[in-house]
């Protein structure tokens, strides 16, 4: 037998294997140059592609082929439920169903096959060296099979090379069809996977947007109370709240703005305060609208002197905006209360530090507003 390479072959077999064929195996329709060796394989592949009529015709022997196989094949009676081979078993023989039935299970959610009389299977175990079975074969009813090994195959090549060539063409046709079906399944699964990934990315993006919206104040775009609470929880769990500066900001006589100029004017004031806090907040700081006209700024890594400069800038900027827009208010003066968060920041939990800053804010409000108070 001659050995030729059959790249990409998949049927009940593996790809990139070596195909063993009789030394003189003439393929009708290819011509005298089509003896199966070298460029004959390419000719055969083209011939199969041109002549392939479907897997049903490629999977069963015709009457003449079956008669030829029956002359040399070893008859084997098998019972329902009997395993002929399992996936991964070494294979060196092929089978033909004389009567009864055999089922092939390829696993991995691939479509199985139910084989009826005159169907052949396991041929790659005969034609390919070091072949491992790619399917489980189980007898579905009491059956009779023909079993052929290398010796029987050589006898067939000597008796009727023309008819054997026809069978080989049919066997390779099935390999090609199975390869095409596998490629189609892989492409379909790839499209399904791509669709699932696109859907997952879209859903993740929507969830991220929803989460961001849930943590953001709709009017000002600052972090809201919920988002600020999540930030504090993270700082407390990391033990990194110490060294922060907590600044509470409250709009002076904000109710007068709403009563005299309407809620749209009040909204503009809140947005202006938010822009001011956003302008002074660094990458590691967080500005928050706690609710109503109360804001919060949590500064990280700033000493008392630097924090005092920032609070002074906020208060003075607010005064300038009040003077600039006196007719239609864009801003109010601000009352500011602040404190340094010392140690690990977990003394009395967060409420301790908030109460200290709030006490300072209360003093600023009691003093008439437009001032800064620290709670040491």
Please give the positions annotated as active site. Answer: 293
Three-state DSSP class for residue 20: strand
Q: How far apart are CA 119 and CA 134, in angstroms?
A: 17
The DSSP-derived string for 176-191 is: HHHHHHHHHHHHHHHH
| CB-CB contact of 370 with 323 (8 Å) | no
| CB-CB contact of 123 with 116 (8 Å) | no
Mark 270-304 as b/e (b = at least 16 C-beta within 10 Å).
bbbbbbbbeebbeeebbbbbbeebbbbbbbbebee
Phi then psi dihedrals of residue 24, to 5 deg:
-120, 95
Q: How far apart are CA 234 and CA 224, in angstroms?
A: 16
Number of residues that this document lists for the chain: 376
Q: How far apart are CA 10 and CA 17, in angstroms?
A: 9
Q: How far apart are CA 93 and CA 99, in angstroms?
A: 18
Q: How many CB atoms lie within 10 A of CB 361?
A: 23
Burial class (CB in 10 A: 0-12, 13-18, 19+), 205: exposed
Q: Quick one: tokens of 326?
A: 């006196």
Three-state DSSP class for residue 30: coil
């Amino acid at each position: 037998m001659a050995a030729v390479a059959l790249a990409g072959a998949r049927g009940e077999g593996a790809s990139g294997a070596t195909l063993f064929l009789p030394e003189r195996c003439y393929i009708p329709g290819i011509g005298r140059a089509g003896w199966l060796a070298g460029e004959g394989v390419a000719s055969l592949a083209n011939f199969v592609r041109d002549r392939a009529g479907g897997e049903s015709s490629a999977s069963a022997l015709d009457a003449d082929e079956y008669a030829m196989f029956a002359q040399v094949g070893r008859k084997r009676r098998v019972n329902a439920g009997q395993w002929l081979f399992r996936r991964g078993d070494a294979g060196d023989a092929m089978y033909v169903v004389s009567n009864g039935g055999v089922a092939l299970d390829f696993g991995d959610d691939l479509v199985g096959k139910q084989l009826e009389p005159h169907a052949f299977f396991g041929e790659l175990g005969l034609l390919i060296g070091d072949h491992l079975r790619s399917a489980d074969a189980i007898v579905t009813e009491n059956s009779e099979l023909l079993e052929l090994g290398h010796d029987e195959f050589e006898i067939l090549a000597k008796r009727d090379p023309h008819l054997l060539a026809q069978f080989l063409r049919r066997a390779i046709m099935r390999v090609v069809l199975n390869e095409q079906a596998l490629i189609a399944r892989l492409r379909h699964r790839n499209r399904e996977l791509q669709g699932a990934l696109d859907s997952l990315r879209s859903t993740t993006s929507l969830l991220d947007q929803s989460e961001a919206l849930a943590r953001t104040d709709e009017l000002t775009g600052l972090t809201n109370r919920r988002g600020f609470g999540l930030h504090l929880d993270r700082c407390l769990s990391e033990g990194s709240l110490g060294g922060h500066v907590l600044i509470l900001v409250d709009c002076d006589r904000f109710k007068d703005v709403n009563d005299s100029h309407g809620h749209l004017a009040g909204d503009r004031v809140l947005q202006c305060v938010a822009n001011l806090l956003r302008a002074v907040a660094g990458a590691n700081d967080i500005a928050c609208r706690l609710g109503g006209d109360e804001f919060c700024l949590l500064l990280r890594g700033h000493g008392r002197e630097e924090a005092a400069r920032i609070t002074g800038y906020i208060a003075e900027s607010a005064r300038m905006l009040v003077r600039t827009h006196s007719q239609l208010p864009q801003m109010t003066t601000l009352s500011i209360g602040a404190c340094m968060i010392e140690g690990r920041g977990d003394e009395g939990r967060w409420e301790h530090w908030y109460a200290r800053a709030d006490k300072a804010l209360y003093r600023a409000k009691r003093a008439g507003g437009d001032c800064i108070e620290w709670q040491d």
